[in-house]
Chain A
Amino acid sequence: MAGPATRGLLATALPLIGKRVASGLLTLLLVSMVVFFIAQLLPGDMAQELLGQAATADAVAALREKFGLDRPAPERYLRWLVGMVTGDPGYSLVANMAVSDVIAARLPNSLLLAALSALVSVPVALTIGILSAMHRDARLDRGLNVATLSMVALPEFLVATLAVLVFSVQLRWLPSIALIPADASPWLVLRSLAMPILTLSVIVIAQMARMTRAAIIQQLSQPYVEMALLKGIKPARVVLTHVLPNAIGPIVNAMALSLSYLLGGAIIVETIFNYPGLASLMVNAVTSRDMPLLQACAMIFCTAYLLLVLIADTVAILANPRLRNR
């Protein structure tokens, strides 16, 4: 039984997943065009910017030639795209380093923060979402509803400043600046990351919990749930064995959206806590108009987002028998 079922699963799910991968790649390509061509709107160019207003036309032209800026836009786009794909997204004139080196120093920090926050927020969000869906319209649900509703609307800097005020100014438990020395022990790392993690979690937990609740409630109104109750199955069991398998698709999708926020949306949190992540790097790139760096960061975030969505789609396909075997 397992044999043919598994083979059937692969045979029918793979083309579907393949289609999603292809569509994701196409979207990524289009995104790269948008990112590249928006940057072209900038008046003046890198050479001009670098040499300043006083530079002679010859010097500017020479520099342009050196960086290939004199070539037509489509050609520059292609070069840039090939560079992105091969891991060489260009040269940051502001940092005077290869963009890849600048990013390599920051990316692990971002991933660490995102991973730890996900570890905290996903279980909490799932629990809240399931609990309030099961007690739909009861006092617990209404309370949680108002709470999560308010939490999603809070500005990050309010959460972060409150956290600092409470935990480092008043209680003096945690450091307010998330600078991690190179030789820090895991405990010290956790301590210094505690507040950024807390702030990020507060924001994504609310989002994820709301979407989880919505996905489950949408299923709870289906006739098969009533049928299960009329078969004498207890409500908690109905949710676990009947509803969750059907709600998995939308729930993972919600997770993907929220997790992508942990990477790119962490801008303000990273700034407040002086955390050397990718998002605050991107803010610096905006301030200094460091276009190659900015474009590379944007592409990383978009790729991460599309990757997460792709994973969510794959899970949804695998969880849905209608999609995987006809």
Chain B
Amino acid sequence: MTNAIRSWVKALSGSGRLGLVLVVFWLLIASIGPFLAPYDPGAFVAHDVFAGFTGAHPLGSDYLGRDVLSRLLSGARYSVGLALAAALLASLAGITLALLTAVSPRWLDEGISRFMDTLISIPSKIFSLVLVAVVGSSLPLLLLVASITYMPGSFRIARSLAVNLAQMDYVQVARCRGEGAAYIAIREILPNMIHPMLADFGLRFVFIVLLLSGLSFLGLGVQPPDADLGSLVRENISGLGEAAPAILMPAIAIATLTVGVNLLIDALTGRGRRMAGKE
């Protein structure tokens, strides 16, 4: 087992390994971050607002004199957790609908596809803004907004995969054997979609992290007293002129998370492509 993991890691490119480290790091922070926080994230603990890097406050203090490191450690949970859940929801819904269309009658396929095409033509930020304006931005609703916004994209990719796979000879063989639609979708088509859809899931996660932190940055996302990484950037925007760590650090934190995921996915899919090419 450990050997398998070791050789798996070994096969990654340098940038892929960097991505892996970043991803693991952020997953850890998201799950145990709050316990590591040196201070209460809501407490005013520093003498100074917008302080620089000090021993007591490794990442400085924010506009109210709170400890930036502690706020970051507890904010990561929202950024990673919400986005993970939303991406999972979007991917699962997309895949399920795509499988349904691949084996359903023509009219249903066309109806669903047309509707998804419509949703895709609404740029994702615009769509989420409209949704937020209507439903508001409590945590569960944000989760819903993000997954609805990115579900059509996931559906489109899954559907094109599923439609291609449904043309494969082995699916035709199953049809001629008299298999039902459910067997064909779940046993013949789905297993061959998982790998590409995992990559797509990663990308969708990145998009959603960016979307949610963007919304929070605009004041439309996670609402106080909760704060995700985007909210941290927003509340400290007045420190920009002083180049305060309080504004830069959360922004850099988000970047390391999203860039890390991207690097890892690229290394994995690139490897898949190269291996396919060799055969």
Contacts and interface: CB of A to CB of B under 8 A. Distances in A.
B255 A169 contact: no
B254 A34 contact: no
A39 B262 contact: no
Given A161-B248, A267-B218, A294 B130 contact: yes
B157 interface: no
Interface string A149-167: 1101111111001101100
Interface of A: 27-28, 30-31, 34-35, 38-39, 41-42, 145-146, 149-150, 152-158, 161-162, 164-165, 169-170, 176, 260-261, 264-265, 267-268, 271-272, 282-283, 285-287, 289, 291, 294-295, 297-298, 301-302, 305-306, 309
A298 B132 CA distance: 13
A161 B262 contact: no
A158 B252 contact: yes
A169 B248 CA distance: 14
Given A268-B217, A305-B121, A150 B114 contact: no
B247 interface: yes
Contacts of A31: 118, 121-122
Contact of A155 (B119, B123, B135, B258): B258
A145 B270 CA distance: 11
A285 B121 contact: no
Q: What 10 pairs across the A-B complex have the smallest Cβ distances?
A: A153-B258, A158-B251, A30-B118, A286-B133, A264-B123, A153-B262, A150-B259, A153-B259, A301-B126, A42-B134
Given A38-B130, A41-B135, A157 B214 contact: yes
Nearest to A145: B266
A271 B218 contact: yes
Contacts of B130: 35, 38-39, 286, 294-295, 298
B206 A267 contact: no
B134 A150 contact: no
Contacts of A169: 240-241, 243
8 contacts: A39-B133, A150-B259, A153-B258, A157-B217, A161-B233, A161-B240, A267-B218, A298-B130
Interface string B255-279: 1001101110010000000000000
Contacts of A158: 251-252, 254-255
Interface string B129-154: 11111110000000000000000000
A283 B218 contact: yes
Contacts, number: 139
Nearest to B218: A283
Contacts of A286: 129-130, 132-133, 220
Given A155-B210, A157-B214, A261-B123, A165 B243 contact: yes
B220 A155 contact: no
A234 B237 CA distance: 53
Contacts of A157: 213-214, 217, 230, 233, 251
Contacts of A283: 129, 218, 220
A302 B217 contact: no
Nearest to B239: A161
Contacts of A302: 121-123, 126
Given A285-B133, A295-B130, 7 more contacts: A38-B130, A38-B134, A39-B134, A155-B254, A264-B125, A289-B133, A301-B123
Nearest to A272: B237
B117 interface: yes
B219 interface: yes
Nearest to B258: A153
A149 B135 CA distance: 34
Contacts of A298: 122, 126-127, 129-130
B133 A265 contact: no
